[in-house]
Structure 1
Amino acid sequence: MSFDPVKREPRPGPVFNPYTPEFDANPYPMLEKLRAQPAPPFWEEGRGWLLSRYEDVIAVLRDTQRFTANRAAWEFDAELGVAAQIPELKELNRYGLFALASADHARVRKLISPALTPRAIERLRPGIQAIVDEVLDAAAARGPSVNVVTDIADLIPARVIGAMLKIPQGREALFQRFTEAMIKNFLPGLVSAGELEAMRPDIIEGLGLVRETVEDRRRNPLEEDILTTLIRTEAQGDRLNEQELLSLVAALIVGGFETTVHLISFTVFNLLQRPEVFAQVKAEPELIRNVIEEVLRFDNFGKMGLARYALEDVPLGGVTLKKGQMVLLMLGSALRDGDTFSHPDVFDVRRNTHASIAFGHGVHYCIGASLARLEVQLAVSTLIRRFPRMELLGQPTFGPHPVLRKMDSLEVRLRP
């Protein structure tokens, strides 16, 4: 349902249901209908305003004076989900980047930026490559047919983050369980009360492990180490406090896991269903960077987009977004907008993607974007190098998820 900008009354619009198998497999016909509405900001009862056109989405991303990403503001209930039952996670949420006021958000980003620059992340390349090689060795040993999601993509991010933090030897299994529990409990409603109770010990023990690791690094700093850099970084006498450090580690786990898993899986899928592109990348391995950027644009795995909240009444696209209302920025739709991208429904490996907002924009640009890109680049390029004749064994399957087109399986035959 949208609103008539003159009468200020609801008017019929397309039925928008992102929770169907058809939407997960191909959301773009529905997203095109949203963009075609006379008043493109589309009101969805129970959700808020859906912005589907690139021009509107980028305008809100740039407007930090009238829109906030603070999910604790307005109607968001910070007591929902696991945080209500595990007080330690409530503290992490309170100090997380998306819960900070603008001034604190800017302060924390300034402090952490030296640890996550492209140059700093590039130093991780040898370690990430070693992890990728180990994962692919194990996948190949299991047989020629693998599920790229569970046998490869799922196994890389947690090990990379553990290596970044230099989790003590012998504690890797606990950190893996902690990571899996954090991912499952990130959004309300993804786990039952019984599942939460079963995972609670891993969460509590895992948080203790992270605290121990931080304290050990304070006592024994390491050169060219991300955690040491975060601890030492100082700006105008200000440093990150313990809760901010813990929240950043949690953000790396949650934000870096799902994004990397899905980007690996969607990149492999888009490559293998386009033999001509696959051949191009084998002939020009450096094209893998372009492929990743085009996958982010062409087949974005976000379902509901980025949430923002209006800090005042804002006229936009012929309607008025009221103070306190939630606005969902539909990145998957905006990145297929023909007013910004020429031939938007064509997968073009040589496209200039300078306008891409797949990792956000401005002050809320994803701090882990460089890490995700490097992990995916190494994972997919190594797959291609080792298995240049790999092939799809069918279409992917998707599972339920409130905000992602969650690919559950992607069956591939590995052929050297």
Structure 2
Amino acid sequence: MNVTSRQFIENKFDYYRWMLEEAPVCQGRLSILHVYFLAGYDDCVSALRDPRLVRNRTTATGGGRFPFPLPKGLTPMISSMITNDDPVHRRQRTLVAKAFTPRALGKLSERIESLTHELLDEAERRNTVDLIPAYSLPIPVTVIREMLGVDEADMPKFRSGLRALSEGFNGWTLLRTLLLDMPRMRSLVEELIERKRSAPRDDILTGLIQAEADGEKLSREELVSMAYLLIIAGYETTVHLITNAVLTLLQHPEQLEALKADTALLDPAVEEVLRYAGPVHGTKPNYAVEDIEIRGARIPKGAAVIPILGAANRDPAVFTNPEVFDIHRPPKKQLGFGHGPHHCLGAALARLETRIAIKTLFERFPNMRLAVPAGELELQSMPLWHRYERLPVVLRP
């Protein structure tokens, strides 16, 4: 099974059904990496808490962090908190968590709501828009820019860096990403850090520079890595969560009508989107520090293991009628943001942005519809993601 193939990307839910029924531990490939994929909900949860599976490949194999050489410019991306293990991971996570307290998120709610209206005011003038660049993308990009304290004058470089981090590791754009975009992004991040050191402000980056845990601060390289992680995790998942939520609700009009009639269903609707059509379908590779056995399958020391979150979220042993989208579904913990020590730190922010985004959108444009047949919507060729190239809509039919 090759999860990078177009066949898999376009038919992933058929593969998940087969895995859950026939191959709960399935060997396959992620690019050139040989991987053991896990499908069952309980197996995924157990694996994400298993101390015998680590994120830092060096711990398991004694080799490099990745099974193939990577350019030095990618170091901040590959040595971040999400590829570290305790105690390094716990220390870094404790420092970053201070930026995502309920109090900090509470202050963002009003700003996100005003931003959604600003964006929809502009979109309304055109009426037919691609919802991703017009709405889904600028919400989290603006929020993370303001949280990091990026000035408006730096936005061209910031947007270029975001585009490279999101789209620049496929096909012919790879060389440009490695030689131009990534060095420019690193330069911007380092410049921002120095600015915050000399002129502290009320933003996350200043907070990370000043934060201490057990008497320790983040090193310069850790700060750069954390900034990259916040930029990527702070917007990329949310862009596609908002997009997938809108599309899924438009494809299930009876569920959308129920939501419009009762806004108390907003929270369960977001959870059901995360389960049914969440954007993230797999974790980073985890490496076995010893021979282990899962469902009778022997996984040798050093092997890569990836829980398929998208399959786990459709496990019939846990979710009744898992292939039915139902915002009235009794609450059970979906795995759209992962589980265990590496559970997404920005999950609460992503939920907040998505909840406000869909509420405002359907309040203002209750009769919005797709501008093209759903069958014409194209999935991006991103392995273990579920995200669309575009989402054309007509706001007022």
Structure 1 residues 99-108 or 307-316, which shifts more?
Answer: 99-108
Q: Pick from 110, 113, 116: which aligns with 1:129?
A: 113
2: distance between equivalents of 1:275 and 1:319? 43
Residue identity matched to 1:105: H
2:135 equivalent among 141, 152, 175: 152
Task: Give how far 1:72 is off.
Answer: 5.7
Q: Which amino acid aligns with 1:372?
A: A
The one-letter code matched in structure 2 to 1:139 is: A
* Pair 1:406-2:380 in alignment: no
Question: Aligned runs of 1:190-269 on 2, under 5 Å?
Answer: 190-192=171-173, 194-196=175-177, 200-223=179-202, 225-269=203-247
Cα distance in 2 for residues equivalent to 1:407 and 1:97: 27
Q: 1:357 to 1:399 in 2, by over 3 A?
A: closer
Name the CA shift for 1:300/1:283 in 2 (closer, same or farther; >3 Å).
same
In the alignment, is the contact (CA less than 8 A) between 2:140 and 2:234 conserved in 1?
Answer: yes
Q: CA deviation at 1:324?
A: 0.7
* Alpha-carbon distance between aligned partners in 2 of 1:202 and 1:302, rounded to the nearest angstrom: 24
Deviation, 1:401, is: 1.9
SS of 2:287 mapped into structure 1: strand
Provide the residue aligned with 2:87 in structure 1. Answer: 103
- Indicate which of 45, 50, 59 corresponds to 1:58: 45
Moved more, 305-314 or 326-335: 305-314
Q: What is the CA–CA distance in structure 2 between the aligned matches of 1:193 and 1:22, rounded to whole Å?
A: 22
Instruction: Tell me which of 9, 12, 15 is aligned to 1:30.
Output: 15
Q: TM-score, normalised by structure 1?
A: 0.85
Q: Give the drift of 1:251.
A: 0.6
Counterpart contact for 1:184–1:190, Cα < 8 Å = no
Instruction: Specify the code of the residue in structure 1 equivalent to 2:176.
Output: E
The answer to whether the 8 Å contact 1:70/1:98 transfers is: no
How far does residue 265 in structure 1 lie from its aligned partner after superposition?
1.0
Amino acid at match of 1:51: L
Spell out, residue by residue over 1:299-357, the C-alpha distance to the aligned partner (whole angstroms, 9 max, x if none): 23335554211111111101211111111211111111111112222212122334212
Residue 159 of structure 1, CA deviation? 2.1
Q: State the partner residue of 1:6.
A: none
Amino acid at match of 1:126: E
Q: CA deviation at 1:126?
A: 2.6
8 Å Cα contact 1:306-1:331 kept in structure 2 = no
Equivalent pair of 1:391/1:412 in contact (CA under 8 Å): yes
Q: Pairwise mapping of residues 355-370 of structure 1 onto structure 2 (< 5 A)?
A: 355-370=333-348
Q: Which residue of 2 aligns with 1:10?
A: none
Which of 370, 373, 377 does residue 355 from structure 2 map onto?
A: 377
Query: Structure 2: which amino acid aligns with 1:67?
Result: L
Change (3 A) 1:302 1:277: same
Amino acid at match of 1:41: V
Alpha-carbon distance in structure 1 between the residues aligned to 2:5 and 2:391: 19
Name the counterpart of 1:169. Answer: 152
The separation in 1 between residues aligned to 2:158 and 2:240, in whole angstroms, is 21
**Secondary structure in 2 aligned to 1:47?**
strand
1:415 aligns with 396
Deviation (angstroms), 1:270: 0.8
CA drift at 1:180 = 1.4
Q: Is the 8 A contact 2:55 2:85 kept in 1?
A: no
**Residues 89 and 399 (structure 1), Cα distance of their counterparts in 2 relative to 1, 3 Å cut:** closer
SS in 2 for 1:320: strand
Instruction: For 2:96 and 2:26, locate their aligned partners in 1 and report how far apart those are by CA, in whole Å.
Output: 36
Quick one: structure 1 residues 338 and 232, their matched pair in 2 at CA, closer, same or farther if it must change by over 3 Å?
A: same
Contact 1:305–1:328 (Cα < 8 Å) also in 2? yes
Q: Is the 8 A contact 1:336 1:345 kept in 2?
A: yes
Whether the 8 Å CA contact 1:306–1:330 is kept in 2: the answer is no
Could you tell me whether the CA contact under 8 Å between 1:307 and 1:328 is conserved in 2?
yes
TM-score (norm 2): 0.89
Aligned residue identity for 1:43: Q
What is the alpha-carbon root mean square deviation over aligned residues?
A: 2.5
Structure 2 Cα separation of the partners of residues 303 and 22 of structure 1:
16
Is the 2:285–2:306 Cα contact (8 Å) retained in structure 1? Answer: yes
Rounded to whole Å, the distance in 2 between the matches of 1:152 and 1:17 is: 33
Partner of 2:266: helix, strand, or coil? helix
* Cα distance, 1:173 vs structure 2: 1.8
Deviation at 1:103, TM superposition (A): 1.3
- 22 and 184 in structure 1: CA distance in 2 versus 1, 3 angstrom threshold: closer
- Of 335-344 and 295-304, more deviation after overlay is shown by 295-304
Matches within 5 A, 1:310-325: 310-325=288-303
1:285 deviation in Å? 2.0
What's the CA shift for 1:184? 2.8
Q: Which moved more, 1:304-313 or 1:260-269?
A: 304-313
After TM superposition, give the deviation of residue 145 of structure 1 in Å: 1.7
What letter corresponds to residue 156 of structure 1 in structure 2? I
Secondary structure of residue in 2 paired with 1:327: strand
Map of 1:285 onto structure 2: 263
* Structure-2 separation of matches of 1:78 and 1:25: 27
CA distance in 2 between counterparts of 1:164 and 1:232 reads 15
Q: How many residues align?
A: 389
Tell me: CA distance 1:122–1:413, structure 2 relative to 1, closer, same or farther (3 Å): same
C-alpha distance in 2 between matches for 1:174 and 1:253: 13
Does residue 352 of structure 1 match 2:330?
yes
Higher helix share: 2
Q: Relative to 1, partners in 2 of residues 1:304 and 1:383: Cα closer, same or farther, differing over 3 Å?
A: same
Q: Which residue of 2 aligns with 1:180?
A: 163
Q: Which runs of 5+ in 1 are unaligned?
A: 1-15
Compared with structure 1, are the counterparts of its residues 256 and 76 closer, same or farther at alpha carbon in structure 2 (3 Å cutoff)? farther
Instruction: Give 2:316's aligned residue.
Output: 338
Q: Which amino acid aligns with 1:120?
A: A
